[in-house]
Amino acid sequence: MKIKLQVCLGPHCRTDGLKANLTDGRGQALMEDFSDSFTLYNIFCWDTVTLTATTPQEPEPVRRTITLSPTWGYECSKDIFVTWGRIREPIVLCSPTSKETKAALAKEEEFERIFKDARCKCSRPGVTFSTGFLHLPSNASPPDNFSIQCQLHECQWSFLVRVVKEGTMQQVSCF
């Protein structure tokens, strides 16, 4: 869904000649220098964002805080099954569920930008984390389970990574 940008000052509204920026709750740029419309498909785990728009005729920018309700995140609390033969491969912290979200995260740089601030921890030693991924210890084997808790801005989720024997799992959620 695209959001059409329009700035109204008094009874006069403008849709052309606009220059806008979208920032997160910390003031960091999420999107810069767009003019007519934008989408929120790649804005994850923020409760609010700030839209700042300027026109050539107005000396002061117009700022509006937008409350995103509900916060757009992932369905991330799904257990992940990993076969023993794949334990050395990076495991994605969360998989997108909607078609739009999958498209928004198809580019690796966009995925890394969004997940760079994710913070995760594990109940057991040996699990390491990189941007958007977790890495199991090399000595993990069936029937090991790893409880993972993550936070990204205003989103929190937890899931279990289960190491299973080849041929005993129903679904693998790894890259």
What is the maximum span of the chain, computed from C-alpha positions, in angstroms?
68
The pTM of this model reads: 0.72
What 8-state DSSP symbol labels residue 11?
A: T
Q: What's the pLDDT score for residue 160? A: 92
Give every residue of the chain whose pLDDT is below 50, as ranges.
Answer: 171-175
Q: What's the pLDDT score for residue 58? A: 76
What 8-state DSSP symbol labels residue 102?
A: H
Strands 133-135 and 128-130: antiparallel
Summarize pLDDT for 40-64 with one digit per residue, the tens: 766 778 888 999 998 877 778 889 9
Structural domain spans, the chain: 2-67, 80-164
In the block, which residue shows the tokens 């994605």? 92
Q: What's the pLDDT score for residue 133? A: 92
Alpha-carbon distance 84 to 143, whole Å? 9
Q: Which fold has domain 80-164?
A: Immunoglobulin-like (2.60.40)
Residue 87's contacts (CB-CB under 8 Å, 6 or more residues apart) are 136, 138, 140, 141, 163
Q: What's the pLDDT score for residue 68? A: 79
